[in-house]
Structure 1
């Protein structure tokens, strides 16, 4: 399956729910509860996933909102595991519910986790997620995931503002202690412009100053996503995802699906194809694949850079 630019699509990100028990400042203005969120049944996603498998997709990541709030999660995961369609099944979570569900996720076939963690300091974390007293739950979730056998854990921090060298050192220390890959993600102003945030080059220069040496580019592939990975002098690996100041559109291999049943061709463009009615009408997976392939022929070579304030669908309605 290829798009209009000849890019091979091998990775799909599926937002299972818009519901989330956090309201991070860069994502959503208020909490979206399960009662407020659209919910599509596992059977809907199985039809879409079969089409993606037929189209050659190798990796699927389940996201949200908070995917652990999706009421049909384990029905879906167990069905996908039974089919054996994909070589890589992963999930992005805020970690707050992970300590109770890590074992169940692993048993259901999820093997890689991305966990959002914008601060390891109680006050800073509370400010980031709009909730107090939640940091310990996330830390327990990370430990639980490690205990049950997850060996590929990435921690995601959105760089919303310039950080002091000491703040960065603390995050790197935790990453080394946990033996996880810490990834730094560029803030994207979906909710409007704000004061200057670090660019790729500025952030890379700060890390190099902190560790006292150039960052060594890691060429080994660590998953199917867009991150660029570097090795520190200590051997620790870190990742950068800076889609605005270090655009990677030419190598984009992914498509997204929203929790209300739309295919989204680009995170930063309002180019959506409704699939819900088609699936509900009972069309087969081959027909769904055909529609997806047709939509991909209208894909642009790149996004519009910092003009993303024009994007109408907010981040929380697209999926993490």
Structure 2
């Protein structure tokens, strides 16, 4: 089955947050001054169980979803994550199962996750310099544990990509060293424009390093040429190094928005469906799961939500809806 929203976009991807908790305090996601020790995270009973996650994902797959991505918070903090992965990997029709992590706990868990059925992992890393990286992550980790996690994931047979959020004046000087290191490692680095997700990260457009600026900076050092998307709706625009040493990607939600091809639905840790990363409203699926509704009844509810979807925040940024409170990125993943 394939369903379309009001703008003709299919639902192909489901991003599943398994926890709203994280052991980092990244300035663009969970700044420490907001998410301090007294911050009220979700109580355990509010979070979807492994079986509820499986059931929900299976309903979405019946509606046309083919890619499942596990997010957080930091998903590796969830003790039953291997069980969740195994349940998702067993769903007929799900063609791709991946995970986004800060990588700090990955070294000891990569082989277990691969064995459970995980196929790919995206690791967030914003600099190779300890001082810069610790400033970006709230002083929670140096670089070495993250690199160890990346290596462990490679050794386990997981496909690995690295995401770097670039903020002018904070870590933009780290772009070229990151590109050089990961192209030598044979790992795709994707640079992410600093986004105004949620209400807590102090977003300032002056701190955005745009796609064209990044391409110019990198291209002057290592000439690039564009590559076609791997599939319709791919988040990152792809560029190949002319010397043959792999590729990079740029995720340009601010300066070159890709709303027109967005196929992603998002499930928060407490079971709310969000139809956009910048959404202000979620739709409660947990209540329906726990009230005993059938899969068919929940599928009909989800279908109705998607078919009335018209989100295109990044295209409308600054023209409408800019003052509405938005869900935090730590709540629904990236």
TM-score, with normalisation over the residues of structure 2?
Answer: 0.88
Measured in 2, the distance between the counterparts of 1:202 and 1:113 equals 27
Q: Is contact 1:263–1:273 with CA below 8 Å preserved after alignment? A: yes
Measured in 1, the distance between the counterparts of 2:30 and 2:50 equals 25
What SS is found at the alignment partner of 1:100?
coil
> Residue 261 of structure 2 aligns with which residue?
251
Question: Which one is further off, 107-116 or 67-76?
Answer: 67-76
Measured in 1, the distance between the counterparts of 2:328 and 2:208 equals 19
CA RMSD after TM alignment: 2.3
1:162 deviation in Å? 5.3
Evaluate the alpha carbon distance shift between residue 76 and residue 87 of structure 1 in structure 2; reply closer, same or farther with a 3 A threshold: same
Runs of 4 or more, structure 1, over 6 Å off, are 32-35, 163-166
Question: Which one is further off, 308-317 or 171-180?
Answer: 308-317
Verify: 1:233 aligned to 2:242, yes or no: yes
Deviations 1:48-100 (A, max 9, x none): 11111111211100000011112321222112223344110000000000000
Q: Which runs of 5+ in 2 are unaligned?
A: none
The equivalent position to 1:173 in structure 2, one of 163, 177, 180, is 180
Evaluate the alpha carbon distance shift between residue 160 and residue 309 of structure 1 in structure 2; reply closer, same or farther with a 3 A threshold: farther
Evaluate the alpha carbon distance shift between residue 116 and residue 79 of structure 1 in structure 2; reply closer, same or farther with a 3 A threshold: same
Verify: 1:305 aligned to 2:317, yes or no: yes
Measured in 1, the distance between the counterparts of 2:172 and 2:23 equals 31
Measured in 2, the distance between the counterparts of 1:223 and 1:92 equals 21
The equivalent position to 1:269 in structure 2, one of 267, 276, 279, is 279
Measured in 1, the distance between the counterparts of 2:55 and 2:102 equals 27
Q: How does 1:14-53 map to 2 (within 5 A)?
A: 14-30=16-32, 36-38=41-43, 39-53=47-61
Q: Is contact 1:93–1:115 with CA below 8 Å preserved after alignment? A: yes
Measured in 1, the distance between the counterparts of 2:29 and 2:140 equals 17
Verify: 1:281 aligned to 2:291, yes or no: yes
Deviations 1:146-184 (A, max 9, x none): 11112x211000011158886332111211222110000
Q: Is contact 1:16–1:259 with CA below 8 Å preserved after alignment? A: yes
TM-score, with normalisation over the residues of structure 1?
Answer: 0.91
What SS is found at the alignment partner of 1:27?
coil
Measured in 2, the distance between the counterparts of 1:280 and 1:164 equals 45
The equivalent position to 1:136 in structure 2, one of 120, 133, 144, is 144
1:266 deviation in Å? 0.9
The equivalent position to 2:209 in structure 1, one of 189, 193, 198, is 198
Deviations 1:15-71 (A, max 9, x none): 110110001000012357899334221121122111111112111000000111123
Q: Which runs of 5+ in 1 are unaligned?
A: none
What SS is found at the alignment partner of 1:310?
coil
1:310 deviation in Å? 3.3
Evaluate the alpha carbon distance shift between residue 45 and residue 176 of structure 1 in structure 2; reply closer, same or farther with a 3 A threshold: same
